[in-house]
Structure 1
Amino acid sequence: MEDEVERRQIEQILELDQEELQIEEVEGFLESSDDDRDTNGVASTEDFTFNTNLTSLHSYLGEVDDTRHRSAFWEGGAILNIPLFYLEGVVLFPEATLPLRVIQPRFIAAVNRAMNQADAPYTMGVVRVYRDSDNGPLRLAKIGTTAEIRQYRPVEDGTINVVTRGQQRFHLRRRWIDVEGAPCGEIQIIEEDVPFRTPRDAYAKLAPLSNLRSQQMPSLNASSLGGGNEENDSEANSEESFESELSQTERRIHQAAIGSSYESDRTDESLSSNDDDKLSESDDQSESPCLNDSSFILSSPSNHEKQIRNAGLGIGTKSMARKVSRPRSHPSRTVSRAFWPYWVYQMYDSYCLAQKAADLWKQIVGKPSMDGFVKKPDLLSFYIASKIPISEPTRQELLEIDVISCRLRREIELLERLDRIQCRICQTVIARRSDMLVMSSDGPLGAYVNAYGTVHEVMTFCKANGLALIGLPDKEYSWFPGYAWTIINCASCENHMGWLFTATNDKLKPKSFWGIRSCQVTDEMR
């Protein structure tokens, strides 16, 4: 069935390529028009006749054979020796597609080694290389992604066309050149964070006593929390809603944390006033007693705990934290008690963050429902990171974040700030987020390789400003079947920004769109 679908798609590509080239005047492309937009500002796809599934086939590479091999995933911490592939201007994420036209002899040797090695067949490591300045030396990132070779075809001129797919992140431990000239490296697979309904280790450390008091100690509601009955009822309801979304295991952990805090609270009521005075004096010397008191830390700080501290939870909010004595001799008193409401948990709940990120992504890109991704926050975080129209260094930053909730929070911050797309050199505004256009089933940003083996990560827009066309349209080696490409530079600084793609026949819609290189934009947003 898949072979039949692919055959029909190839026939569509051939039909598009046989059409005669028809190009409108350049002025028509530079004019701004809002006729093709929906009410949310996202480019409308109702008039599309272009099949976006054709782009993801990378048919410009010619015939490539499916290797019909799927590599097994390695456990976190596993150490492997694999060939390496260095790419400038590209960051590969797990589950993302990466096409390659391998021309350089050392990388041809690397691909051949990957195809024949016994320990990790069809697998190589992709690492980003970069320069600190335009004329600076090349540097290698310490975090990369394994790439599985899905399609492979040697070409008569000695080059190789391959299509790979990102698999797992890794730390690059060391590297060398083998006897055949292939770059190789010793890598360690990164153990991925597991998404939970609430942050890992958060239950026992930030037990929501507001819910406990509203259910088990109603007489203390007004005096302890200083709020009216309506506010307490609302908070209790939100906590009940929160618990209803937990699994049975997570609910048991949650209730155990509350129970521990309750037992500790009862013990604290019998303490002498002198102990309270001592703690009060100690609290006055600390900005965040609930988070910084060493007596309540049960283990070494996790990434989640560090993130909570960095976020400033508890800083300057002494009125929210109850001053209690926690002698080291009583184990139950090592549990932190703080009046954190339900929304505090949401700030680090991977699934809540995934829903927010998916909603923002839909607003910007206009994609259909992403419910499947929301149920898998780890995959959603990688998907957005690989498609968001930001600069290459920022995407490398996202790749290096180990905690899912932290990666999602950073992506939400970027999505909320994302508005203008600016030239990296002169800061000229060339497009806005509402101009984004999805021309591939892979999303609004994808990786493509040109005839010279250079890989470009390109984001597509329905309109752009401040760009100059260089040369005439060319149909050869087009990444989008049925469209001719023309080089575009920034009109202010002449920086190579990407390409204008124009339809080669009147049947194709949109008639034109812009492909902007992600490595040539800046992150100075808003």
Structure 2
Amino acid sequence: MDDDRILERERLQMEQIRELDFEELQVEEVEDFRESDEDDDLAAFRSTSHTHLSEDLDVDELIFNPTLAPLHTYLGEVEDTQNRIAFVDGGTILKLPLFYLEGVVLFPEATLPLRIIQSSFLAAIERALNQANAPCTIGVIRVYREGAQFKYASVGTTAEIRQYRRLGDGSFNVITRGQQRFRLKRRWTDVEGFPCGEVQIVEEDVPLRTPRDAFGKLVPVSNLRGRYNSSTMVLSAPLRDTDEQSVANSEESFETALSPSEKRLHYSVVDSTMDDWTSSDDDQVDRTSDIQSSGSHAFSSMSIGCLSSGQDYKEEDGQSANGKTSISQGQKQNNLTSLRKNTNLTRFRMVPRAFWPFWVYGMYDAYYLAQRAADLWKQIVGVPNMDAIVNKPDILSFFIASKIPVSESIRQELLELNGVSYRLQREIELLKSFDRVRCKHCQTVIARRSDMLVMSSDGPLGAYVNPYGYVHEIMTFYKANDIALSGRAVKKDSWFPGYAWTIANCATCETQLGWLFTATNKKLKPSSFWAVRGSQVADDNL
């Protein structure tokens, strides 16, 4: 019943927006926006993604529903395809029609709309719909310019034709979805005039919870029985209070992936270990004292001794442990006994007993990295929520790569990265450093991260196609700097229902950066926003 009410509300909103499009409303020319108005619009948009309606259905304030943008309603009605292909095994070689797209990087699971008007590409779609080896499948390759020459990327993505519509003039409106990465082995032009290619499907690695081959042959601590030396002890930084939660959250992921032998290697029995420490001979105590003298706290530099409460260890006579004053044998034994009594055994059990500390394994634990990336995304972007796919690191890594508002060349770099962990590491780095959006040609700062406005439930970056068949990947902002408008606002073929578009150029170098979208009715919020083309964004967004 809840789903039915939501669908009914969305249908009602679509009818209201379509009525707005038919009204004879004068679209005001927008030259300046007061920051206070922009902030009010942004707050209103973020407060809800649905329409505010009164009980008698009079519209008091119409908030744009971001779930409308991914539907690509400007393409009109489309039909679902029937003969879809399942995922093929990695290493499989396919022969597919190729679409070379400038300024577009397609990722698995991402939506790509196409408007096919050229005769050669119409034949390519016909071939794809009817081919036997890979029905309803095309290959998408990014093409880019270097000087006067076109360059072709070596890694692309297969796209499955999900929906299409044949228009009266013979053209096609098509909605595709990215499937699997491939490497382009060779390409040629078919007799019908469209590009074809032989592609090899990339075999994706399985996300691991911990790199098994990183474990060394380390004797369990419980079996060392006090015979410690610098060659067998594992050095790491002490656990900070801020790290305890991360370690606790990741403990389950580590234990699930470990084999019984690895568990015996990675963890040891604490009680017997503590007995070994406190019942060791004089040489053991001397060694412990030596270790104490090298740091501000006993065992502070050892992963097997991350037991402190965060306070600096002090000797009874007031001298610090790294001081020159000698300690009596009895005092040393008392200090060890006190340390044993005050030890948090639960915290001790979480400490790894391998050759590397926990944070090293965390660098390659795909599930741990996925959680970090999802947390950063929630903090910086917010929409969409990643909770549903946080336990699927491979899917999450592709999703972030397809939506992160950075330049197309950086996104191509993410597409070509092999290994889920490496891709997530790079995405975390980009999310942390992303702040400014600059013009690709003159390096003028166009917008900042704080200006970002998510107008699609898919995320802050999406692909849209214009009436002439050009696909543009755009990122949306509620405020932009140094941009000049060109021409009047146009309602026809708008990617966002209820908004008119105006061409926006860089005020410094006059390159077309994107568009300004303005609401055709004053009750529709946000009243305006900017769409910047990803192909016109500089690589350095720091």
| TM-score (norm. length: structure 1) | 0.76
1:14 counterpart SS class? helix
* Selected match of 2:509 from 487, 493, 496: 493
Structure 2 residue 381 is the aligned partner of structure 1 residue 373: no
- Shift in CA distance, 178/369, structure 1 to aligned 2, threshold 3 Å: closer
Q: Which residue of 2 aligns with 1:35?
A: 39
Amino acid at match of 2:370: A
Larger Rg: 2
CA distance in 1, matches of 2:237, 2:158: 55
Q: Which residue of 2 aligns with 1:112?
A: 126
* Counterpart mapping for 1:21-420 below 5 A: 21-29=25-33, 31=35, 35-36=39-40, 44-46=46-48, 49-133=63-147, 136-199=148-211, 201-204=212-215, 206=216, 212-213=220-221, 215-217=222-224, 219-220=226-227, 225=233, 242-246=250-254, 248=256, 250-252=258-260, 254-255=262-263, 258=266, 339-367=355-383, 369-420=385-436
Q: Summarize deviations over 1:232-270 as a string: whole Å, max 9, x none.
A: 9999999787553346453436326659xxxxxxxxxxx
- Shift in CA distance, 353/239, structure 1 to aligned 2, threshold 3 Å: closer
| 8 Å contact from structure 1 (residues 22, 503) kept in 2 | no
Structure 2 segments unaligned to the other structure (5+ residues): 49-60, 268-352
- Shift in CA distance, 247/71, structure 1 to aligned 2, threshold 3 Å: farther
- Shift in CA distance, 167/208, structure 1 to aligned 2, threshold 3 Å: farther
Using the aligned pairs only, state the percent identity.
Answer: 60
- Shift in CA distance, 120/225, structure 1 to aligned 2, threshold 3 Å: same
2:369 counterpart SS class? helix
Greater displacement, 26-35 / 123-132: 26-35
| 8 Å contact from structure 2 (residues 29, 488) kept in 1 | no
- Shift in CA distance, 188/438, structure 1 to aligned 2, threshold 3 Å: same
- Shift in CA distance, 27/75, structure 1 to aligned 2, threshold 3 Å: same
Q: Which residue of 2 aligns with 1:267?
A: none
- C-alpha deviation, 1:178, in angstroms: 1.9
Structure 1 segments unaligned to the other structure (5+ residues): 260-336
- Shift in CA distance, 146/13, structure 1 to aligned 2, threshold 3 Å: farther
Q: Which residue of 1 aligns with 2:281?
A: none
Amino acid at match of 1:11: E
| 8 Å contact from structure 2 (residues 41, 527) kept in 1 | no
Q: Summarize deviations over 1:301-358 as a string: whole Å, max 9, x none.
A: xxxxxxxxxxxxxxxxxxxxxxxxxxxxxxxxxxxx9731111100111111111111
2:197 counterpart SS class? strand
Greater displacement, 355-364 / 12-21: 12-21
- Shift in CA distance, 20/363, structure 1 to aligned 2, threshold 3 Å: farther
- C-alpha deviation, 1:516, in angstroms: 0.3
Q: Which residue of 2 aligns with 1:278?
A: none
- Shift in CA distance, 37/348, structure 1 to aligned 2, threshold 3 Å: farther
CA distance in 1, matches of 2:363, 2:248: 17
Q: Which residue of 2 aligns with 1:18?
A: 22
Q: Summarize deviations over 1:41-96 as a string: whole Å, max 9, x none.
A: x9834487111111111111122112144320000001111111110000000000
CA distance in 2, matches of 1:235, 1:463: 37
| 8 Å contact from structure 2 (residues 236, 357) kept in 1 | no
Structure 2 residue 479 is the aligned partner of structure 1 residue 467: no
CA distance in 2, matches of 1:239, 1:219: 27
Amino acid at match of 2:46: S
| 8 Å contact from structure 2 (residues 384, 458) kept in 1 | no
Amino acid at match of 1:52: P
2:39 counterpart SS class? coil
1:114 counterpart SS class? helix
* Selected match of 2:463 from 447, 451, 467: 447
- C-alpha deviation, 1:504, in angstroms: 0.3
CA distance in 2, matches of 1:234, 1:428: 38
Greater displacement, 237-246 / 426-435: 237-246
| 8 Å contact from structure 2 (residues 518, 529) kept in 1 | yes
CA distance in 2, matches of 1:29, 1:108: 44
| 8 Å contact from structure 2 (residues 407, 537) kept in 1 | yes
Amino acid at match of 2:161: I
Structure 2 residue 500 is the aligned partner of structure 1 residue 484: yes
- C-alpha deviation, 1:468, in angstroms: 0.1
- Shift in CA distance, 15/106, structure 1 to aligned 2, threshold 3 Å: same
| TM-score (norm. length: structure 2) | 0.74
Q: RMSD across aligned C-alpha pairs, in angstroms? A: 3.3
CA distance in 1, matches of 2:142, 2:450: 29
Greater displacement, 507-516 / 233-242: 233-242
| 8 Å contact from structure 2 (residues 235, 357) kept in 1 | no
- Shift in CA distance, 19/92, structure 1 to aligned 2, threshold 3 Å: same
| 8 Å contact from structure 2 (residues 157, 180) kept in 1 | yes
Q: Summarize deviations over 1:202-236 as a string: whole Å, max 9, x none.
A: 343x4677xx33x4436256865498998799999
1:459 counterpart SS class? strand
| 8 Å contact from structure 2 (residues 409, 539) kept in 1 | no
| 8 Å contact from structure 2 (residues 42, 526) kept in 1 | no
- Shift in CA distance, 188/218, structure 1 to aligned 2, threshold 3 Å: same
Amino acid at match of 1:123: T
- Shift in CA distance, 365/253, structure 1 to aligned 2, threshold 3 Å: farther
